Amino acid sequence: MHDPTKSTPQDFPDLGALKAGDEAAWQAAFWHLWPIALRAAQNPQARLEDAEAEDVASEAIEILISKIEQVTSFDHAEALVSVIASRRAISHARSNSAAKRPPPNNRDFALAEIPAVSSTNMTDIDLCEMIVLLRRAFDVLDVSTRLMLLEKTGDGLTYNQISKKHGVPLGTVCTNVARGLKKVRAHLQESPLLMKELREYLR
């Protein structure tokens, strides 16, 4: 008897086949989705143990399976699983923190220290759309600009740290980051509603 868990992914999974419950399509999808979900679950803000992050990633994939009818493309499926995994990682961290919370006068890890996945309170649909647009934007950035942008906005390194790491002047780092930011903005403007929503939230 054919064991679908033994085969390896051939092509990019077909969404129609996934919705029809095709095992081979799902097998290919799992190879794509697993590392994405795992990386999202390893959100540094959540600080989960490796085993916990694996559990969270696995749960995220199970949730995606149940929501597959709502997904419009495989890009969207990947974005959705990353959002679910990230949200669940934060939620898991909050539960851990609440369970371990010491008396108020002696705690060093407050709940408020754990931010939500998105400070903009966007819906999952908007978030997925933004993730897909950002991914496309990253594809057109040169490697060093993309790295600097992510080190600055994602990892929280200072410009000085990035300057030393890459061996370039501070002004060059700032210019690269600003120009990378403009290119990303150009991609986000493909969805004017999303951009408007962001601007209004930040007003």
Partner 1 sequence: MGTEMTEDEFDILAAKVLAGEATADEATRLQEALAQDAELRAEFAELRATWAALKDVGPLAQALNTPPAEPPPERLRKWHAAVARKRKHEEVDFAQVGAPVRKKLRVSQLCLAAAFLATAIIAGVFLSHRSSGTATSAPIAYLVARKDTVEVRRDGKATAVKSVTTLCVADEIRLSPQASATLITPNGARPLQGPQEFVNVQVLSSAAAATNGTETKSRAAGTALFQPSRQLLGLLVTMRSGQSIPVFSSVVVSGLPFSAILRRYRPSLARVRPGHALVNSTGDTTPARRKGAAVENSSMIDKS
Query: Taking the complex as a whole, how short is the minimal distance between the CB of residue 22 and partner 1, in angstroms?
Result: 7
DSSP three-state, residue 51: helix
Classify residue 40 as exposed, middle or buried by CB count within 10 Å of its CB (0-12, 13-18, 19+).
buried
Query: Under the rule (CB under 8 A), what is the footprint of partner 1?
Result: 4-5, 8-9, 16-17, 19-23, 26-27, 30-32, 34-36, 39-40, 43, 54, 58, 61-62, 65-66, 75, 78-79, 82-83, 86, 117-120, 127, 130-132, 134-135, 137-138, 149-150, 152-154, 158-159, 171, 174-175, 177-179, 181-182, 184-185, 188-189, 195, 198-199, 201-202
Nearer to partner 1, 100 or 135 (CB): 135
CA distance 156 to 160: 12
Nearer to partner 1, 48 or 177 (CB): 177
Structure tokens at 45: 């803000």
Helical ranges in 105-191 per DSSP H: 124-140, 143-153, 159-166, 170-188
Residue 4 near residue 30 (C-beta atoms within 8 A): no
Structure tokens at 40: 């999202």
Nearer to partner 1, 37 or 103 (CB): 37
Nearer to partner 1, 91 or 108 (CB): 91
Query: Taking the complex as a whole, how short is the minimal distance between the CB of residue 35 and partner 1, in angstroms?
Result: 4
CA distance 121 to 69: 24
- For residue 150, count other CB atoms closer than 10 A to its CB: 14
Query: Taking the complex as a whole, how short is the minimal distance between the CB of residue 141 and partner 1, in angstroms?
Result: 11
Nearer to partner 1, 110 or 178 (CB): 178
